[in-house]
């Protein structure tokens, strides 16, 4: 069985959905499970709904209406019959999310986030599945929340592999074309959980692992894995082959083309990962599998923006030692800040953090009780794998470098 994953750009409008069909027709769709993300920027739109719910309830109806109109535009372009059953299915989903926001009593942002944002994927897969059936490509729509079981760590749930395997074995017909969602799971009480932003790649890997798939293909709007994100760098080159180890390194440092958790389950069963263009589906793209390093071996650039650099030093010039560092890292964990870079000396400690869960301000309040704290917000963390002197100079030019750290294969720069 093969696993295909299509991201938001590949289903952003009616033409994109039709192109998804073209891809399936060109490369075949027998014994295939297709994982589909929310359409276009719908995850952002659903996040706006959550923001309105917590900060400006008068705006909730308007933000939901924008989501409804976006999807109805796509559906009206795909289905000529205004009485098509897909409209009724979408109405049920919209009624569900509106109903949840009406009766919900939980004040927990992460819980509400997962119960609302999940509808982006539920809507997109309902439309894609209905359209495939409409044009004669029979398929089965699966609710991935019945397959992937997790803990209750909302917005960044951990997979219960044993229960997920049981569910996949009992619910997936491997002989059919299956359509399901990325990004989502559910806990023991069947409340929706999410696997972390951009988690659809990980969903594909989880299902591939449980199904012993022959391969996973991620369909992108780029030719494959490039040595830099073309949105941030002018000159980019296709990486034709990448080892699992190298891909995990790139993902760890923030390469956006592959989700950081995606590679581990694939590596364990040596399932190859292909990253290909949905514009040119017959092109080779990039293959990630067994082997060493990358081909061609060239510098790879990764940037993570909107980071936070903290510089901590002791108030009495005493050493920052193991006890202090242990306490600091516990605070990072408690406030859900992800550590991306660490550098320390005898009396100071610098760390670059990702503040995606908004824990920075309460963290600072606690740190300032024991340390002198200098905080630089909105910094960028650049990483170069397989760096050379020219590649480092190209990043340093015109930028204020706050921290630089070099290893044998990797250099990292925190810049303002």
Annotated binding-site ranges for substrate: 43, 121
Candidates 12, 121, 130, 126; CA nearest to 79 is: 130
Distances in whole angstroms, Cα of residue 339 to Cα of each of 122, 335, 342? 32, 12, 8
Q: Across-strand partners of 149?
A: 186
Distance CA 273, CA 202 (A): 12
**Contact present, 167 and 190 (Cβ < 8 Å):** no
Establish how many alpha carbons lie within 13 A of residue 202's alpha carbon, considering only the half-sphere containing its beta carbon: 21
Candidates 80, 88, 77, 86; CA nearest to 13 is: 77
User: Which parts are annotated binding residues for ATP?
Assistant: 5-8, 231
User: Which parts are annotated binding residues?
Assistant: 5-8, 43, 121, 231
Q: What angle do CA 39, 11, 116 make, to 5 degrees?
A: 15
Distance CA 127, CA 348 (A): 54
Sign of CA dihedral 77, 82, 85, 90: positive
The backbone torsions φ and ψ at residue 152, rounded to the nearest 5 degrees and listed phi first, read -105, 25
């Amino acid at each position: 069985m093969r696993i295909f994953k299509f991201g938001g750009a590949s289903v952003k409008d009616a033409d994109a959905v039709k192109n998804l069909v073209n891809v399936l027709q060109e490369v075949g769709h027998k014994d295939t499970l297709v994982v589909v993300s929310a359409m276009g920027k719908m995850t952002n739109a659903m996040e706006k709904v959550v923001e309105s719910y917590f900060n400006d309830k008068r705006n909730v109806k308007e933000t939901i209406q924008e989501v409804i109109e976006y999807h109805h535009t796509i559906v009206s372009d795909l289905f000529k019959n205004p009485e098509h059953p897909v409209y009724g299915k979408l109405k049920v989903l919209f009624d569900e999310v509106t109903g949840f926001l009406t009766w919900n009593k939980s004040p927990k942002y992460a819980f509400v986030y997962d119960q609302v944002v999940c509808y982006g994927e539920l809507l997109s897969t309902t439309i894609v599945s209905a359209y495939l059936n409409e044009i004669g490509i029979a398929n089965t729509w699966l609710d991935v929340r019945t397959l992937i079981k997790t803990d209750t760590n909302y917005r960044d749930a951990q997979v219960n592999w044993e229960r997920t395997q049981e569910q996949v074995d009992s619910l997936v017909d491997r002989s059919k074309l299956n359509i399901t969602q990325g990004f989502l799971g559910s806990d023991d009480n069947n409340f929706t959980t999410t696997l972390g932003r951009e988690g659809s790649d990980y969903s594909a890997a989880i299902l591939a692992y449980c199904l012993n798939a022959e391969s996973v293909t991620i369909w992108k709007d780029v030719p494959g894995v490039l040595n830099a994100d073309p949105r941030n760098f002018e000159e980019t080159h296709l990486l034709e082959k990448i080892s699992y180890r190298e891909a995990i390194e790139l993902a760890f440092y923030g390469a956006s083309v592959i989700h950081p958790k995606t590679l581990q389950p694939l590596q364990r069963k040596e399932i190859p990962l292909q990253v290909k263009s949905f514009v040119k589906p017959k092109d080779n793209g990039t293959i990630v599998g067994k082997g060493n390093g990358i081909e061609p071996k060239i510098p790879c650039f990764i940037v993570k923006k909107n980071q936070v650099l903290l510089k901590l030093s002791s108030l009495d010039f005493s050493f920052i030692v193991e006890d202090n560092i242990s306490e600091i890292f516990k605070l990072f964990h408690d406030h859900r800040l992800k550590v991306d870079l660490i550098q320390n000396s005898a009396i100071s400690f610098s760390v670059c953090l990702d503040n995606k869960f908004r824990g920075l301000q309460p963290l600072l309040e606690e740190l300032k009780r024991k340390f002198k704290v200098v905080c630089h917000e909105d910094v960028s963390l650049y990483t170069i794998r397989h760096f050379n002197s020219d590649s480092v100079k190209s990043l340093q030019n015109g930028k204020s470098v706050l921290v630089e750290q070099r290893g044998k294969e990797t250099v990292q720069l925190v810049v303002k």
